[in-house]
Amino acid sequence: MFSQIGIVSAVNSKLVEDTIQEVIQTINTTAAAALIDDRIRAVNLDGEFNVCPLKTLPETCDLIISIGGDGTLLQCAKLIFPNQVALLGVNLGRLGFLADLSAKNVNKDLTAIIQGDCAMEKRVVLGCEVIRDEKIISTCDGLNDIIVQKWNSARLITLNTYVDGKFLHSQRGDGLIVATPTGSTAYAMSGGGPILDPRIDALALVPICPHTLTNRPIVVPDSSAIEIRVATERNDQSRVTCDGNSVQEVMQGDKIRIFRHQVSINLAHPAKHDHYATLRAKLNWALDP
């Protein structure tokens, strides 16, 4: 199913190096070719592989393997978008909601995935435009979430939110999270938002520490055009972040427009992948029966 397989990782431990080595050796037992991110070429690796510049991997490969945690996989998602390249995560992090291939089962599961015995899943990507004086001053894309939040201040910020041009609410608090189903298990979950099944075409709007206790999370269709207007009087208090990365400091009167991209990220999972089993295991809900 896959012939050119890229390996991306930030090498910072012996465990990561050993996992990269096992991935290369597994690929070498198939008809596929291994290409590694040029940031890890200094590692002493055995086997057959080519070294490629990180930015060229999405143009060369049909599968990218992220070795690390969910943070590393989010970086890979940003790297490959909007190329239609499959993305697979080997989890060496803590939770691993996205990077769900266990390092202990790399050889068996990765061989099956390369040969086509896998589950493919499309995940929504959000686009964002920051508008000032009717001009776009910044853009970003997010697999997890787009967040407008207070910055460099202990003061509350005021945000006015519109959905499809209709006024939803005016909120004073620490900010607002717009999360995809993928991001519903990230910051949005910590803020009390709902966990969305990845098959649902929806977004969660989750207030961050709202000063009005009746401000609650709300779920809207992912086809909605969301606009957040900054009503805070001070201009150094709020900022837009995308998948945890700071994008743009925003000022009073700025508009943040958020929308669903037509192109999705393709996640590859082992064939036995079960989203609910992942939730049970990561959130300690119950032991498997």
Q: What are the pLDDT tens digits along the chain (289 aa)?
A: 899 999 999 767 888 889 999 999 999 999 999 999 988 866 678 899 999 999 999 999 999 999 998 899 999 999 999 999 999 999 987 767 888 888 888 999 999 999 999 999 999 999 999 999 999 999 999 999 999 999 888 889 999 999 999 999 999 999 999 999 999 999 999 999 999 999 999 999 999 999 988 999 999 999 999 999 999 877 778 999 999 999 999 999 999 999 999 999 999 999 988 999 989 988 989 876 6
Which residues is 240 bridged to in the sheet? 148, 248
**How high is the pLDDT of residue 192?**
95
Six-digit token pair at 142?
A: 């997010």
Q: Which of 260, 222, 264, 269 is nearest to 83 (CA)?
A: 264
3-state secondary structure 76-96: HHHHHCCCCCEEEEEECCCCC
Distance, C-alpha 3 to centroid of its chain? 25
Kindly list the structural domains of the chain, giving each domain's residue range(s) and its CATH number in brackets, ordered by start: 4-124+264-283 (3.40.50.10330), 126-260 (2.60.200.30)
The residue written with tokens 């990077």 in the block is 99
**How high is the pLDDT of residue 282?**
87
- Do residues 149 and 155 lie in contact, with contact meaning Cβ atoms separated by under 8 Å? no
**How high is the pLDDT of residue 98?**
87
Cα-based angle 166, 262, 96 (whole degrees, multiple of 5):
100
**How high is the pLDDT of residue 33?**
96
The residue written with tokens 């041009």 in the block is 165
**How high is the pLDDT of residue 249?**
94
Six-digit token pair at 235?
A: 């201009």
CA distances from 61 to 130, 278, 281 (A): 32, 28, 32
Catalytic residue among 37, 70, 243, 254: 70
Tell me how long the chain is.
Answer: 289
Q: What is the DSSP string of 162-206?
A: EETTEEEEEEEESEEEEE-TGGGGTHHHHTTPPPPPTTS-EEEEE
Residue 133, C-beta contacts closer than 8 angstroms, at least 6 positions apart: none
Six-digit token pair at 80?
A: 């490959």
**How high is the pLDDT of residue 96?**
76
Element (H, E) at 112: helix 106-114
Active site residue 288: no
**How high is the pLDDT of residue 41?**
64
What are the φ/ψ torsions at residue 83 (nearest 5 degrees)? -60, 140
**How high is the pLDDT of residue 42?**
61
- pTM score, whole prediction: 0.93
